[in-house]
Structure 1
Amino acid sequence: MISKYRKQFNSEFSQEKYQQLKDILKQKSGIEPTFRISESPLFLTKEFENKLIDATESIIDQIKALPPETLQKAVPENCNVPNDTQKPHFFTIDFGICKSENGEIEPQLIELQAFPSLYAFQKVFEDTFCEVYPFLTEIRNKMPHEEFKNYLKELILGNENPENVVLLEIYPEKQKTAIDFALTENLLGIKTVCLTKVKKQGKKLFYENDGKLVEIKRIYNRVIFDELDKIPDLKTEFDFREDIDVTWVTHPNWFFKISKFLLPMLKHQFVPKSYFLHEFPDSEKLENFVLKPLFSFAGSGVNLNPTKEITDAIKDKENYILQRKVTYEPIFEDINGEFSKAEIRLLYIWRENDERPILLENLGRMTKAAMVNVDFNKKDAIWIGSSNAFFGEE
């Protein structure tokens, strides 16, 4: 979208520099990235950035205006965790990069979550792009690394000693996001702990470090609670639904409260119309909509072409939404003159005493397939995978 930077990047690009990018990421984290790293950043205009912020600010206003009991309806009874908080610590929001009917490039809301994304990784990723391509420094995120680090430290550590704060995940070494866990450990000095290794004594939780039990006072939670049921023979000493002496960052209930559940309630020109499946009106045509389960992660269960047979067969229709289709516009030109589509996730934190969340970073995902998921791309495709957006003037 910004031809000046796109031309410069494409002229400077080489497979050697791409390998250098991945090698530096591995060197900084100690881990090989297990998801595909895109060769290219996204170049987007300040005008597009303003549209993103305008839509997000409106959505935040609408969420803040919702009564707590409306949000509480999103939490399944069997997933309700005690000691809820008034607001989430994290707020992430995904937009597809689309073209409007009058030909303008505009964002369209895809989904939103109160769940931490790759905060530590994306900052390092942005830094690394700038190391390999120094001209990017002039349009990089204005927030200095130290300020970014301090925000996350304050949010995740609070006033606790780092050894009493853990990043909690289930089988973390098997997760695609393991590189972010390693970079978070480096940034904050905390340990990543598997849920199966947590010990419980009364209302307190502990983990083992060098043969000693260390109390857990704050949990940077990366476990998707409703997915635990799908893990066979899972044995843990504590259940999320127990009343324990720990501060959740962020509280597990917010995973449900800020989710696809909200989409039918939100209104904005950059928010596609959505309906709960059981409320889908006869006046709309099914072929214009995408079917999404309310509580799924990483695009699982999404049906781009739902039929009446498929929707009629669904028993729990209140747990699905239909969202009007949007068309991602292929505008990111690669070195072969082919174009990728993309979506962008804005990564906010929401401190307990702040009225509004603070934007820290962004995450881009590029594709040449119908869905923004690398698995759907041809094996030899380029300009696909995880990316980072840089905003500048045309």
Structure 2
Amino acid sequence: MISKYRKQFNQEFSQEKYERFKEILKEKSGLEPAFRISESPLFLSKEFEHKLLDASESIIDQIKALPAETLQKAIPDNCRVPNDTGKPHFFTIDFGVCKNENGEIEPQLIELQAFPSLYAFQKVFEDTFCEIYPFLTEIKNKMPHEEFKNYMKELIIGNENLENVILLEIYPEKQKTVIDFILTEKLLGIKTVCLTKIKKEGKKLFYENNGKLTEIKRIYNRVIFDELDRIPDLKTELDFREDIDVKWITHPNWFFKISKFLLPLLQHQFVPKSYFLHEFPDSENLENFVLKPLFSFAGSGVNLNPTKEITDAIEDKENYILQRKVNYEPIFEDINGEFSKAEIRLLYIWRENDERPILLENLGRMTKAAMVNVDFNKKDAIWIGSSNAFFVEE
């Protein structure tokens, strides 16, 4: 696929360039990424891009048409946060690069979420690919860096002073995505604050900023709320479920509303059929489906080969879905003549006054394993890990 660019990249590739690539990322952020960086970008056709966007636009239409009450059902009662918003500020959607029965390469929806991904990192990532391999500049994302920055600034900072806006995470320095937090700080001029450091007085929140207690008015939220319960002996002054004087970017409720919960409700040729586990019909064969918990992160709890014994043993069946299996097609050739599979995530923002979200960037993930998660790859594998997609005419 896209043999011209793939051929040129593979001819120009060297281990030295890969090491330099990682060095530049470290120079720009001050630390090494805590996740594996793929040696190669994804080269995908403009035709594939059109299919991606067609599916995404249809999914957005279907979400917009859903009653608010339907979306509210997705939020666990113990995770409901006051002062919900009419739409999310972020919208990301993951597609597998698959092959259909006619031998055509097409996207298949894997999952979607209204939660910020590696927005700041991916822009730097794409630029760094172009620094190391200048021929990629002609096919890079057309959005200028300044325009990208302005979109992010308007969305996250709004009209507030920088000191009153924070990026919120739990133990940020321990997170795999810490490099994105640092690059977000550099991009926007805001600080990353650990949830345990937040001070609360009445309905107002504060953090210590250069030795001074400073009010927080907007929170760029990177905390996955339902994961807090898994942290032993966690003590915080802020409880998400309290009514506080702060603007959430994006509101925590949307993490649940735009999630695997929606998969059984969506229809499109690039959306695999899904069912809630308690509604799985006898007419379907379990072997053709993947079992996924509604509330999990980074692939945890996913079962690629569920059995009736496994599904029967699950008590809270309404919190699981079965999604029809898709066949990731290994089409990304490495320098050894072996092939990787991939997923692509589209990174949208959704401003409050906009009817539709705006696509800012993409994120690629490459693998040679059964699941698109670098933890499942062999140690010496190449062309695996975090990547970026370039779309070109074939």
The amino acid across from 2:154 in the alignment is E
2: CA distance between counterparts of 1:31 and 1:226? 28
2: CA distance between counterparts of 1:159 and 1:67? 31
CA positional deviation for 1:29: 0.5
- Say which SS state the counterpart of residue 142 (structure 2) adopts: coil
CA positional deviation for 1:3: 0.4
- Say which SS state the counterpart of residue 159 (structure 2) adopts: coil
2: CA distance between counterparts of 1:60 and 1:7? 36
Match of 1:171 in 2: 171
Match of 2:217 in 1: 217
Q: Confirm whether residue 27 of structure 1 aligns to residue 27 of structure 2.
A: yes
Match of 2:133 in 1: 133
- Say which SS state the counterpart of residue 343 (structure 2) adopts: strand
Q: Confirm whether residue 158 of structure 1 aligns to residue 158 of structure 2.
A: yes
Match of 2:367 in 1: 367
* Cα shift readout 1:151-179 (whole Å, capped 9, x = no counterpart): 00000001001111000000000000000
Match of 1:244 in 2: 244
- Say which SS state the counterpart of residue 236 (structure 1) adopts: coil
Match of 2:102 in 1: 102
Match of 2:265 in 1: 265
- Say which SS state the counterpart of residue 351 (structure 1) adopts: coil
2: CA distance between counterparts of 1:213 and 1:390? 45
Q: Confirm whether residue 312 of structure 1 aligns to residue 277 of structure 2.
A: no
Alignment of 1:328-347 (within 5 A): 328-347=328-347
Alignment of 1:276-355 (within 5 A): 276-355=276-355
The amino acid across from 1:282 in the alignment is D
CA positional deviation for 1:275: 0.1
- Say which SS state the counterpart of residue 127 (structure 1) adopts: helix
The amino acid across from 2:12 in the alignment is E
2: CA distance between counterparts of 1:118 and 1:269? 28
- Say which SS state the counterpart of residue 262 (structure 1) adopts: helix
CA positional deviation for 1:238: 1.3
Q: Confirm whether residue 392 of structure 1 aligns to residue 379 of structure 2.
A: no
CA positional deviation for 1:375: 1.0
TM norm structure 1: 1.00
- Say which SS state the counterpart of residue 251 (structure 2) adopts: coil
- Say which SS state the counterpart of residue 97 (structure 1) adopts: strand
* Cα shift readout 1:177-216 (whole Å, capped 9, x = no counterpart): 0000000000000000000000001110000022110110
1: CA distance between counterparts of 2:89 and 2:206? 23
Match of 2:40 in 1: 40
- Say which SS state the counterpart of residue 153 (structure 1) adopts: helix
- Say which SS state the counterpart of residue 340 (structure 1) adopts: strand
* Cα shift readout 1:210-257 (whole Å, capped 9, x = no counterpart): 211011000000000000000000000110000000000000000000
Q: Confirm whether residue 61 of structure 1 aligns to residue 53 of structure 2.
A: no
The amino acid across from 1:245 in the alignment is D
Match of 2:275 in 1: 275
2: CA distance between counterparts of 1:383 and 1:87? 37
2: CA distance between counterparts of 1:295 and 1:162? 33
Match of 1:231 in 2: 231
CA positional deviation for 1:325: 0.2
Alignment of 1:140-155 (within 5 A): 140-155=140-155
Q: Confirm whether residue 7 of structure 1 aligns to residue 7 of structure 2.
A: yes
Match of 1:111 in 2: 111
The amino acid across from 2:378 in the alignment is K
CA positional deviation for 1:32: 0.8
Match of 1:191 in 2: 191
Match of 1:377 in 2: 377
1: CA distance between counterparts of 2:378 and 2:81? 42
TM norm structure 2: 1.00
CA positional deviation for 1:131: 0.3
Runs of 4+ in 1 over 4 A off after TM superposition: none
Q: Unaligned 5+ residue runs, structure 2?
A: none
CA positional deviation for 1:387: 0.0
1: CA distance between counterparts of 2:28 and 2:160? 26
Q: Confirm whether residue 122 of structure 1 aligns to residue 114 of structure 2.
A: no
The amino acid across from 1:291 in the alignment is L
1: CA distance between counterparts of 2:259 and 2:112? 5
1: CA distance between counterparts of 2:286 and 2:334? 35
Q: How many residues align?
A: 394
- Say which SS state the counterpart of residue 227 (structure 2) adopts: helix
2: CA distance between counterparts of 1:106 and 1:146? 32
Match of 1:182 in 2: 182
* Cα shift readout 1:306-336 (whole Å, capped 9, x = no counterpart): 0000000000000000000001000000000
1: CA distance between counterparts of 2:174 and 2:377? 23
